[in-house]
Structure 1
């Protein structure tokens, strides 16, 4: 690398927001992939809608705030907030058009082929129409509220995501002259949007039924036009923690204010008249670029309602899978098991049950003295909450950090915080100005040989629902030094403790960034000395400029860098002298890839770390995160083989190109490997106590402690044909 080459050159970076849109496009490609089961394709399309909604709720809203306060500083890619908004609008409009092409040209015809029909009201039989007329008058009409807009009645407030009908009508005045008026009707939330017609699998949308009988709401008027529209608002949460004496009350107050955030996007029926569009944009105070004309039903999340109400034959959904539960964890006291060895769990292929059982046994074990835990997102019926309350009732000292600012889970977490407090748990809310995103449980137990700390650390949330949908990794350990570090973290979170150092864990803010930077520097030094140097990383997103520069420096020095990045990736590949030694893969498939893995060859010592943190500025500087080492050799080997298998995926992997596009792997001449499907099959056979299926490139054995893989070739070794060894 030339000494004059500046690694902060904007040409070396992709804009974060555009990279996220590219990720959502990869999800959309799954909806378009005919190799996926039909109902799963429908679900993927619905996911792209909810993803895009949240993108406007948060990311677009943040950029608009920057513009409103005249913040013009460019991002790492050299784009000002105004330029980003313009580019987002162009790309998002193209994405919406692609979504609806996928719906109308592919998915609806495929559903129709299976006699699953979404009708317009004008397509119904007389009997179906009569059914809807009765349904409308009995179930819908009583709860509708037509809202006129005139001199005495201002334009109504429309909540985020609500479906509304715009109506242009005329009615006579006292002199018999007809005047054009405007009104709205909100599609009610309390009625299913998808109405199942009697007989077969035939459906109609609630808004179409309301439109068919709209005259009943405006007697004496002439309806000139009806068109659906939907608004997306700024849903950011601005909590002033420094001035909030009661954080729960402040969060609750801000939740109410958030509902009235500024409009970020207006979706309208493609057939809406220009006159009506102009009227709405004026009322919403938005620009033309913020209007999205929709060629089909607005808000594609309704698709999930359809597939939930239809019998799913095995060929239209992913096969059910049984997560593997290690027999050792089923039949023994979990603390005895952890005292003998560290235990690794790979979700969703391994069962989440050991995590909940860890808390359960702590609640009822008379030798357990204290339970400390961080909660970021939990399910609405969380067994973990139940066991924490049970532990407090049994006299354990229970301390729970509940992150009240977990985006879109704020209300749920406020509820759980109240419940835990009422049960006698000590509930804390973390540090001012920081979200607590680490996943950490500490159990203090009086063993026969003295007090011992037992820990569970993970890359993902303590959520029993997402544990079946997200890939995450967790570790149970009673390592003494990690235990001391865990105690220091909880003391830091609950009090005024500032530990001078940590023995085994790295902690954000700043600590993880500095630790990983040092590890990268060590690999650079190895490469510069002419020795083997490798970095493997897996994460959800890579956007922190400092970490990207470090990876560029490593590549320029000759370090082989292999990155698995599910979502945002601001790093560019193929830059001569800068990133020619970096390869980026992204796996988008059945499960959401959520685990974070950081590996360094370290002169053959092969250091492996798991973390709750992505390489984003918010994770490294504005959140409490942990990074923890894998110290047990068999688990370390296991993890590296998992990474290697994922790197070998040829079915769900896309590879980042120098032009920022993502292309599928060229699988010609190579065995097909859908790594997620492979892990599902392997877990299934392990659960049935059958011999494991052979790995595509490695033998797999079971020694009673979980999956074991014989050493495989590392990505760099495959180029030379050498076999990698991992002791």
Structure 2
């Protein structure tokens, strides 16, 4: 048997880019509605923004430190793969999706494509709505290169002639305010009947750029966009108030280290070199794109375009079958645990659970973790109402939830203002566990009710992400949840949990024990099976343990939505391990962990978890995993969250040993579609 430690693991950055290739492939599928194909292109653009803002920025930082294994050749390989992905993205847009949109009567018009009437309307729009907000900056010693904020649209212009003072300064920068819409729909009176026409803001400005520089000749120009390091770096050990420290840092987030420069392909080399020099970037950081520099903003076209047949059919989730719609949830939960499978079953049940707790005079206390709840949230409004009604409310608000910091700070301040207890978790760790605990007086005793989830308390994303929620009144499980809240608030040492596995304490260690137990069963010739469904698999100790279990003879199936660094299917090394990824209409977000090390019912374990199998989740976050012990519920998780994804013949991809993926034959089951059909509301 080969040493698992000697198996060459895959590149995490390449694995992230491979995931985005799978997402981008959705834009090529003719069985996907046309506007949704465009949306997948936008999603990839958004994902790449975050990749450069966060992950690639960290890789650049690590490359400056000896011993990290990240050198210039590695950076060049990642940059090359990034360029290839972006090239493919624009090719699909220009050669497949845009022509299909035109056939469907939806056009994105460049200046040359517009009729005289359309040009007249665009000119009026520019002069009324755009030009008053533009202030070109001509560069000279008293007009230095302006600050360029992260991911903003800008123009660089090379001018001929002399300025108003007779000088020959020839470069100007035009910053485009974010308040301006990036996609403008032309009114019906300038469009042929049955057609929809749109213009991009960049095209509007380009057509009228000369009006910003009267008396000067425009020799060349380009739109450009800069991506910066956007991670908030706060030394938590050296601040007295984390909330205020983060608030002050947010004001400078837009001006972090430059990482990537996007320009249009027609940009003159002199201008692109000038911009690279201004931002201190190497040539490999330059992306010359065949279209607008920010494809994310095309979501505005998707939102404005008419045609329901061009979108996925609206899905109305049914009420969870395991919960009564009438009567008290508390009464039901005293006798039954309930499993909620979102978005196939409605998230309204979670809202209803909290609403009943807020309105019930016997409920004395509510505790909840808040990670990504959104700037508008019925759940947060209910917590505010609970405080007003005199209930004890503890909110554990994660201020460092990336890109949600401002919304979470605002909710923390509103909760504090009405008298809720608000804490921010543990210094140096993110609180990523999703938990709600309700304490209710029932006669002479207090009873606890808990909701645990693999996903966030966000009703909006709960309609788009697949997640599993769990409602219970089991005393040992609710006691564990209460101890976690107690530790997060008091910082006291937590007593050993009865059911919950917690990171950074017991979770990784127990997962390794389960894997080893399966491996020993395989060596003994007994049943040995592991099935995992997670978003990412990049934690090396867990990956090495899985490889060892596979070499011992265990049968291992991994359903990993995103990055996976484990190379499957290598003869005599990982030949017993299979990796697949499902990319469909919904974003796969459920984490399910199944282990079998024998034939008896007591020789298997199934856990649901908030944590991916990444090092950060195991060692630097507060995470929770909980067992599903009820036989019927455990079978339901297997039947809905594991088996359909192992059999998916429509949305699944299979990973090769080199880290690349191939789509399965396009026949048979779509796991997501089957679940939608199963739980769709009857209307």
- Verify the 8 A CA contact 1:168 1:180 in the aligned structure 2: no
Show the counterpart of 1:153. 143
Secondary structure (helix, strand or coil) at the match of 2:221 reads strand
In structure 2, how many angstroms separate the alpha carbons of the residues matched to 1:556 and 1:222? Answer: 70
Residue 172 of structure 1 deviates from its aligned partner by 2.6
Secondary structure (helix, strand or coil) at the match of 2:314 reads coil
Summarize the alignment of residues 223-234 of structure 1 with structure 2, pairs less than 5 Å apart.
223-234=218-229
**Candidates 178, 185, 192, aligned match of 1:196:** 185
Show the counterpart of 2:580. 585
**Candidates 105, 115, 121, aligned match of 2:111:** 121
- Verify the 8 A CA contact 2:429 2:622 in the aligned structure 1: yes
Show the counterpart of 1:379. 374
Show the counterpart of 2:645. 646
**Candidates 39, 42, 65, aligned match of 1:43:** 39
Residue 305 of structure 1 deviates from its aligned partner by 1.1
- Verify the 8 A CA contact 1:342 1:478 in the aligned structure 2: yes
Residue 380 of structure 1 deviates from its aligned partner by 2.1
- Verify the 8 A CA contact 1:438 1:624 in the aligned structure 2: yes
Summarize the alignment of residues 464-613 of structure 1 with structure 2, pairs less than 5 Å apart.
464-603=459-598, 604-605=600-601, 606-613=604-611
Show the counterpart of 2:663. 664
Taking only aligned residues, the RMSD between alpha carbons, in angstroms, comes to 1.5
Residue 63 of structure 1 deviates from its aligned partner by 1.5
Secondary structure (helix, strand or coil) at the match of 1:378 reads coil
**Candidates 407, 416, 425, aligned match of 2:411:** 416
Show the counterpart of 2:358. 363
Show the counterpart of 1:27. 23
In structure 1, how many angstroms separate the alpha carbons of the residues matched to 2:412 and 2:73? Answer: 41
TM-score, normalising length from structure 1? 0.91
1:58 pairs with 2:68: no
In structure 2, how many angstroms separate the alpha carbons of the residues matched to 1:84 and 1:416? Answer: 42
Show the counterpart of 2:670. 674
Residue 496 of structure 1 deviates from its aligned partner by 2.7
1:144 pairs with 2:139: no
Residue 174 of structure 1 deviates from its aligned partner by 8.9
In structure 2, how many angstroms separate the alpha carbons of the residues matched to 1:45 and 1:30? Answer: 8
In structure 1, how many angstroms separate the alpha carbons of the residues matched to 2:444 and 2:627? Answer: 26
- Verify the 8 A CA contact 1:488 1:497 in the aligned structure 2: no
Summarize the alignment of residues 1-400 of structure 1 with structure 2, pairs less than 5 Å apart.
1-2=1-2, 5=3, 7-9=4-6, 11-67=7-63, 70-74=64-68, 79-172=69-162, 179=168, 181-199=170-188, 200=191, 201-314=196-309, 316-326=310-320, 328-400=323-395
In structure 1, how many angstroms separate the alpha carbons of the residues matched to 2:246 and 2:73? Answer: 32
In structure 1, how many angstroms separate the alpha carbons of the residues matched to 2:163 and 2:87? Answer: 43
Residue 439 of structure 1 deviates from its aligned partner by 0.2
Residue 61 of structure 1 deviates from its aligned partner by 0.8
- Verify the 8 A CA contact 1:128 1:198 in the aligned structure 2: no
CA offset digits 1:587-640 (Å, max 9, x no partner): 001000001000111423231100000100000000000000001111001011
Secondary structure (helix, strand or coil) at the match of 1:445 reads strand
Secondary structure (helix, strand or coil) at the match of 1:8 reads helix
CA offset digits 1:457-484 (Å, max 9, x no partner): 0100000000000000010001111111
In structure 1, how many angstroms separate the alpha carbons of the residues matched to 2:71 and 2:614? Answer: 18
In structure 2, how many angstroms separate the alpha carbons of the residues matched to 1:562 and 1:523? Answer: 13
Residue 81 of structure 1 deviates from its aligned partner by 4.6
Residue 132 of structure 1 deviates from its aligned partner by 1.3
Show the counterpart of 2:629. 631
Residue 244 of structure 1 deviates from its aligned partner by 1.3
In structure 1, how many angstroms separate the alpha carbons of the residues matched to 2:187 and 2:501? Answer: 60
Unpaired runs of 5+ residues, structure 2, are none
Secondary structure (helix, strand or coil) at the match of 1:179 reads coil
CA offset digits 1:562-590 (Å, max 9, x no partner): 11000000001122332111111100010
TM-aligned CA distance change 1:174 to 1:652, over 3 Å:
closer
Q: In terms of mean alpha carbon deviation, does 464-473 or 167-176 score higher?
A: 167-176
TM-aligned CA distance change 1:71 to 1:175, over 3 Å:
closer
Unpaired runs of 5+ residues, structure 1, are 690-727
1:435 pairs with 2:430: yes
CA offset digits 1:259-309 (Å, max 9, x no partner): 210110000110111111111110010000000001111111232111211
- Verify the 8 A CA contact 2:59 2:70 in the aligned structure 1: no
Residue 521 of structure 1 deviates from its aligned partner by 1.1
In structure 1, how many angstroms separate the alpha carbons of the residues matched to 2:336 and 2:493? Answer: 30
In structure 1, how many angstroms separate the alpha carbons of the residues matched to 2:412 and 2:32? Answer: 41
- Verify the 8 A CA contact 1:164 1:228 in the aligned structure 2: yes
TM-aligned CA distance change 1:449 to 1:587, over 3 Å:
farther
- Verify the 8 A CA contact 1:12 1:575 in the aligned structure 2: no
TM-score, normalising length from structure 2? 0.96
In structure 2, how many angstroms separate the alpha carbons of the residues matched to 1:469 and 1:442? Answer: 25
- Verify the 8 A CA contact 1:565 1:586 in the aligned structure 2: yes
Q: Alignment length, in residue pairs?
A: 672
In structure 1, how many angstroms separate the alpha carbons of the residues matched to 2:388 and 2:252? Answer: 36
